[in-house]
Structure 1
Amino acid sequence: MDSWDEWRRGLAAEMDLRGDWPDRSPWIRSAVDAAPRHLFAPDRLWHWDDCAYVPVDRDSDPEGWAAEVYGNPDDAAVTQVTDGLPSSSLSCEAVVVDMLDSLLLEPGHRVLELGTGTGRNAALLAWRAGDESVTSVEVDPDLAVGARERLGAAGRSGDRVRVVVGDGGTGWPAGAPYDRVMATYAVDRIPWAWVAQTRPGGRIVTPWGRLGHVALTVAEDGKSATGWVQGLAQFMSARGTAGPARTFSQVRGTAPAEAERSMTRNLEPLRDNAHLRFALRVALPDVRITTAEDEDGLNAWLHDEGGVGSWATLSAVGSGGDDDNSTVVHQAGPRRLADELEEAWDAWIAMASPNLYDYGMTVEPDGQYVWCGDAATGPRWQSVQTEE
């Protein structure tokens, strides 16, 4: 089709309106122009129709395909579906730009990327650092082949931008040390290999967990990496790290609740306040929180993802009053998740409700922790063990 410029300009204009182009990294907009999204999208994309992912083919539905590629700045284009779930995507433009800005990339930096996918992010990195400075690791051999082809077609030599097949969790020691390391998939555990393969003073940017991405700087002695949360980002997790998460219904089962009580707390921040949700993610890393509204008000469902089988429901009891926050709590399992939720919520309020940018992370050889305010003196939460 001959309207790519129109689609590209539309997405760029929306990024302009939202202020998504970072002032400190003006190179990013030039790189985006030089590596347009459609050059890195396969001929078949996948669209969620509220029931399942359905194919959208470039040949049979060019307008629909273009709409997937150039959706709004927060829309990813799903490029691969495995067992009914997305397993690779062309990441949403706003987060791609935000993470590149966080990387503080300079010409000549040696860069390791984990998760090549379509190759588009590698092309953006290469535009800034230089083709021969970028090594990208992809676990899926078929995706790696496609990425090499697209990089070549986009003018970034597939021979000079190294796309290698391997496990991103182990990095790529043959090319170390790197000045910059960037992951395009989410991890709960920051692999120590990423830190070990980054030079002192180098920077690591990665999505962490379900809600944020962090930028870590490796210490001068190479024995730790620490840095601040940079923004919200929801990326697919590393392949093979875990099976599909259990749903609330699977955890809830059919057994009756073991405890019941009332709650008068307004639940709207649980749905609308990203800073609260991030704080709860830090304090309760294995608890999944889902909200939905019905005629009685806002409801919430909580369940643990660790397999111990605890759950809670927070069910609104409408009485017709605008200010009514009456909620009935039912809980069961070894843990009382609603109680834990309120305790973590109250602790966040007691800390003066810090926003997500007040949080940071430190990674050491034997573990990692999240802190708030100050890495040395602020409150901290031990996170999961780092990968070997």
Structure 2
Amino acid sequence: MTAKANQDRPSRTELGRVLMSGGALPVDWAPSYAAVPRSAFLPDLMWPFDMDTGTSIAVSRTDDPGAWFGYADSDVPVVTQWDDGAHTGTDPGRVSTSSASMPSVVFRMLRDLDAHPGNRVLEIGTGTGWNAALLAHRVGVENVVTVEVDGAVAERARASLSRFGAAVRVVHGDGYEGCPEGAPYDRIIVTAGVRHIPFAWVEQARPGGLIVVPWGTHYSNGDTVARLVVAQDGRSASGAFTGPVEFMKLRAQRLPLVVHSDYVTGGPTGRDESTTDITEDEFVGDRFGPQRFALGLRISNCHCVVADKRDGARPVWFYGLTDRSWACVMFRDGDTARVWQGGPRRLWEEAEAAHRWWENAGRPGHERFGLTVTASAQHAWLDEPGQSVN
């Protein structure tokens, strides 16, 4: 298949139409979408997320090119590495550690970045190299620097970018440190979820520059895109969130595995027990809804696990990250939710108070929250920087 035919596939044209009609693909990014196909940066063996089954499946370009290109041209995330490269075989591995994001997410973040021709751009998290190629088409190859912590991933991306004719500078290093030798940058975009924003990124951006980064708390695996503007004096960066996403986390900031048996043995019954009148729908909400994000801002050092619903019952667990405090609320259809707690912290009471705070604030969505980063701290706020929520 020729490069021209590769770019003119009907499925790719249809994806572009869907992205534009849904507002994900801005008009000014359409030429870059047309010129830079995601398929040029995907490996022959990949693991797209199948929406019908809710699982990642192995797809080989050699064995089934039709399915391979079909997924390449779909608005689905594609895993390209498992278990930090230790994985072998075709079955999915244990932990996905590198991927190509959903095209809708990619272009929404590029829209937030507001990069213009000639802007200097630093990307943290090269992945496949597709995002860097899109940026290169927009601002010029010479103006893009991309940093990748995994040496093998960096080398594959470098080869793909070179083969495609967009040989941007790929740096193998820890993106947490940025890339000071290329600074200052007009724009910085991060393609990994973070829990703490290093001030190095602020220092390496121009005054008035933009930093677009998926940010969140260890309360959940979800992230929310922060669009931060660097102050004219360079001493801070601040801005509102634009919407929910979910990214693999920056390797230096991954949450260590939370082992349930380290907290609870023998089940929660018989422990400190109570009830709550908060319902499952009110508390759990949608996976990408604002409740979980808001609660994570208010409940420090806590990880929440929303279990699958079975036989009309759904347990939600809370684990303290600085001690062995825990809590469990059991939502059951047609019945009052029961609560059990253990340890020095009363985690359910903290969660219940955080939920009441969110409701009393008018159930704010992601866009009403924002983030400010200084050399000494970062704090989230509601509506304006002076109204800190964490």
Pick the TM interval, shorter chain.
Answer: 0.7 to 0.9
Identity of aligned residues (%): 36
Q: Specify the code of the residue in structure 2 equivalent to 1:173.
A: P
CA distance in structure 1 between the aligned counterparts of 2:12 and 2:178, rounded to whole angstroms: 33
Query: Hey, what does 1:19 align to over in structure 2?
Result: 23
Q: Specify the code of the residue in structure 1 equivalent to 2:72.
A: V
In the TM superposition, what is the alpha-carbon distance from 1:250 to its structure 2 partner? 5.2
Matched residue SS, 1:193 = helix
CA distance in structure 1 between the aligned counterparts of 2:297 and 2:72, rounded to whole angstroms: 33
CA distance in structure 2 between the aligned counterparts of 1:336 and 1:3, rounded to whole angstroms: 57
In the TM superposition, what is the alpha-carbon distance from 1:68 to its structure 2 partner? 3.4
Matched residue SS, 1:374 = coil
Question: What 5-or-longer segments of structure 2 have no aligned partner?
Answer: 87-93, 217-221
Which segment drifts farther, 213-222 or 1-10? 1-10
State the TM-score, normalized to the length of structure 2: 0.87
The answer to whether 1:189 aligns with 2:193 is: no
Contact 1:248 1:311 in 2 (8 A): no
The answer to whether 1:292 aligns with 2:303 is: no
Query: Hey, what does 1:29 align to over in structure 2?
Result: 30
Q: Deviations over 1:126-162 (max 9, x none)?
A: 1111110001111112212211221122231x1xx11
Q: Specify the code of the residue in structure 2 equivalent to 1:266.
A: T
Q: Which runs of 4+ in 1 moved over 4 A?
A: 1-4, 47-54, 247-250
Counterpart pick for 2:266 among 254, 269, 272: 254
CA distance in structure 2 between the aligned counterparts of 1:293 and 1:305, rounded to whole angstroms: 23
In the TM superposition, what is the alpha-carbon distance from 1:334 to its structure 2 partner? 2.4
Contact 2:195 2:253 in 1 (8 A): no
Q: Specify the code of the residue in structure 1 equivalent to 2:388.
A: P
Matched residue SS, 1:292 = coil
Matched residue SS, 1:371 = strand
Q: How has the CA–CA distance of structure 1 residues 333 and 65 changed in structure 2, closer, same or farther, with 3 Å as cutoff?
A: farther
Contact 2:119 2:187 in 1 (8 A): yes
Counterpart pick for 1:265 among 247, 253, 278: 278
Matched residue SS, 1:293 = coil
Q: Deviations over 1:18-41 (max 9, x none)?
A: 33223xxx2212211111110010
Q: How has the CA–CA distance of structure 1 residues 141 and 379 changed in structure 2, closer, same or farther, with 3 Å as cutoff?
A: closer
Matched residue SS, 1:252 = coil
How many residues get paired? 366
Q: How has the CA–CA distance of structure 1 residues 61 and 349 changed in structure 2, closer, same or farther, with 3 Å as cutoff?
A: same
Q: How does 1:32-51 map to 2 (within 5 A)?
A: 32-47=33-48
In the TM superposition, what is the alpha-carbon distance from 1:289 to its structure 2 partner? 3.6
Counterpart pick for 2:118 among 108, 125, 138: 108
In the TM superposition, what is the alpha-carbon distance from 1:287 to its structure 2 partner? 2.5
Q: Specify the code of the residue in structure 2 equivalent to 1:302.
A: W
Contact 2:209 2:229 in 1 (8 A): yes
Q: Deviations over 1:163-191 (max 9, x none)?
A: 11111000011011111111110110001
Contact 2:371 2:381 in 1 (8 A): yes
Contact 1:245 1:305 in 2 (8 A): no
Q: Specify the code of the residue in structure 2 equivalent to 1:69.
A: A
Q: Deviations over 1:223-282 (max 9, x none)?
A: 111001011111101124346431546543336453111222221133334122221121
The answer to whether 1:118 aligns with 2:128 is: yes
CA distance in structure 1 between the aligned counterparts of 2:159 and 2:212, rounded to whole angstroms: 26
Question: What 5-or-longer segments of structure 1 have no aligned partner?
Answer: 319-323, 382-388
